[in-house]
Amino acid sequence: MKILPKSARETKQDWFGKNGWTLHSVLVYTKHNSSKLKVQAFDHWSADMRQDSWFTASSLHAVMELLKNTIKSVIIMSNNGSHYHNADLMIIMGYWPKWYGIQVEKWVFLEAGEAKTTIDSHHAQISHAINRYVRLGFDISEGQDIENAIQNIRGTSVANLKPNRDRGSGKNSLPGNSNWFEWQWPTTEKLAGSILARAIPNIGNWKVFSPADLEKLCKKDICKPNPEISIHTTPCSDWEISIPNATRKFLFIENLNPTRLNKKNLIKELNLRGIETNEKENRRTLISNLEIQLETDIKNAKLCRDINPDVLVEKINMSNDRLNTVNFPLPSGWALKEMQKYGKKGAGKRIAKKVRKILEGYFLAGNADKIDRYTVQDMYQALQQRVLEGDI
């Protein structure tokens, strides 16, 4: 998020050509009790306008240094911005257990426009707080004004961040990294030190980058961020939200008591689970059938929560054939980004500079006189003629 200087008395002329500050937000969710999640918002403002992978790593470092003694593992979700979804940051994540004692379970990227998260609402609150601050007669002329404007948002801590840019030369790469939207960093058994990636969260085959692969792909030294960070402000109040619906559903399955349901609701619950029922069946039989199905549902839910990525790599290929149960004219995975052939960044042929210059001339030919305007067909024929004449 970018914040520009703002004044209660500002002309349109004053608005143009302003330099502002970068504001990076990290929202940390921790389970407070059985029905609530505690949210801590860490907002870092900086005069450094380069929001790249190193800025993101520095901002996350500031948060992990505060929380490293209270949490053991994290799951990260973010948008698909280039300052998040890049090889450098994905490699850095593998060093978190060593640096902070925190295991990154996985990182899931949301495609642009795919979903709105709580952080979008938080940024809307920040914009509203800044506008209110200015309406009260204050100016946003320095970074401290940002802190004063937004520090009263519940659950929010604000600090100034100045990344250390002395990293040396070189570039880290993970070929095809933009194709994959779920990443994991296993630390046990034979995949320890590897990076796993796949196109869709919880679905599909893993692409495995082994430690040997990473050694070849890392051209820049990986060092722990060491930014200058001011003291975080203390939140004025706590921020709590209800546990998301998926968790509520799991709790509902665990707490559902078939013996307390009437016959109509028993039939409804069984039908929801794809079990056919007979109206002539007595209530006791329906209760027994539902109890058996609930036991299966709970086992499956726990298996999905506790599944090990090491096991997934070995077994997921074996289960893929079960998905191909419907005859479909296109091959499996045809719509995935990794299968895209045309329009990919950095792929395909480039127009030669000489041809581009000729095309520019064709486009501009009709500016002086519309009679001289070239159609697409005219341009194509003219280029073909130049090829025959040996000009291009």
**Per-residue confidence (pLDDT) for residue 149, from 0 to 100:** 93
pLDDT in tens, 342-351: 666 656 677 8
* Residue 147 to residue 155: CA distance in whole angstroms: 14
* 168 in any annotated domain: yes
* 328 in any annotated domain: no
pLDDT in tens, 185-203: 998 888 899 999 998 888 8
Residue ending a domain, choose from 301, 323, 345: 323
Confidence of residue 114 (pLDDT cuts 50, 70, 90): low
* 339 in any annotated domain: no
**Per-residue confidence (pLDDT) for residue 254, from 0 to 100:** 60
pLDDT in tens, 295-343: 887 777 666 555 555 554 555 444 444 444 445 556 677 677 777 766 6
The total number of structural domains in the chain stands at: 3
Could you tell me if 253 and 224 lie in one domain?
Answer: no
Q: Which helix or strand (DSSP H or E) is residue 168 part of?
A: none
Using a 10 angstrom Cβ sphere, with 0-12 exposed, 13-18 middle and 19 or more buried, the burial of residue 244 is exposed
CA proximity to 146, closest of 267, 325, 21: 21
**Per-residue confidence (pLDDT) for residue 343, from 0 to 100:** 64
Residue 12 has pLDDT above 70, yes or no: no
Measured between its terminal Cα atoms, the distance across the chain in Å is 47
**Per-residue confidence (pLDDT) for residue 310, from 0 to 100:** 52
Could you tell me if 153 and 211 lie in one domain?
Answer: yes
**Per-residue confidence (pLDDT) for residue 316, from 0 to 100:** 46
Residue ending a domain, choose from 220, 240, 260: 240
Q: Do 142 and 301 form a contact (C-beta atoms < 8 A)? A: no
Residues in CB range of 211: below 8 A, 6 or more apart:
193, 194
Hey, what amino acid is at 72?
K
Could you tell me if 235 and 261 lie in one domain?
Answer: no
* Residue 154 to residue 233: CA distance in whole angstroms: 12
Could you tell me if 173 and 251 lie in one domain?
Answer: no
* 294 in any annotated domain: yes
Could you tell me if 313 and 385 lie in one domain?
Answer: no
Percent over 70 (pLDDT), the chain: 81
Could you tell me if 293 and 203 lie in one domain?
Answer: no
Per-residue pLDDT averaged across 125-132, rounded? 92
DSSP 140: B
Domain of residue 373: give its range. 353-389
pLDDT in tens, 270-295: 888 788 887 788 888 888 888 888 88
Q: How would you classify the pairing of strands 73-79 and 103-110?
A: parallel
Per-residue pLDDT averaged across 120-128, rounded? 91
Could you tell me if 39 and 131 lie in one domain?
Answer: yes
**Per-residue confidence (pLDDT) for residue 320, from 0 to 100:** 47
Could you tell me if 227 and 270 lie in one domain?
Answer: no
Question: How many Cβ atoms sit within 10 Å of the Cβ of residue 106?
Answer: 18
* 333 in any annotated domain: no
81: helix, strand or coil: coil
Residue 238 has pLDDT above 60, yes or no: yes
Spell out a b/e string for 339-351, using b for 16 or more CB atoms within 10 Å of the CB, else e: eeeeeeeeeeeee
Could you tell me if 28 and 165 lie in one domain?
Answer: yes
Between the alpha carbon of residue 215 and those of residues 206, 268, 335, the distances in Å are 19, 56, 32
Residue for token pair 């008395």 = 9
Could you tell me if 217 and 249 lie in one domain?
Answer: no
Could you tell me if 258 and 236 lie in one domain?
Answer: no
Residue ending a domain, choose from 240, 258, 275: 240
* 346 in any annotated domain: no
* Residue 340 to residue 152: CA distance in whole angstroms: 47
Say if pTM beats, i.e. exceeds, 0.85: no
**151: phi then psi, degrees, rounded to nearest 5:** -70, -15
DSSP 373: P
Query: Angle of helix 118-135 relative to helix 143-150, nearest 10 degrees?
Result: 110
* 347 in any annotated domain: no
DSSP 109: E
Could you tell me the two tokens for 185?
């960093």
Could you tell me if 59 and 162 lie in one domain?
Answer: yes
Between the alpha carbon of residue 297 and those of residues 263, 292, 326, the distances in Å are 21, 9, 25
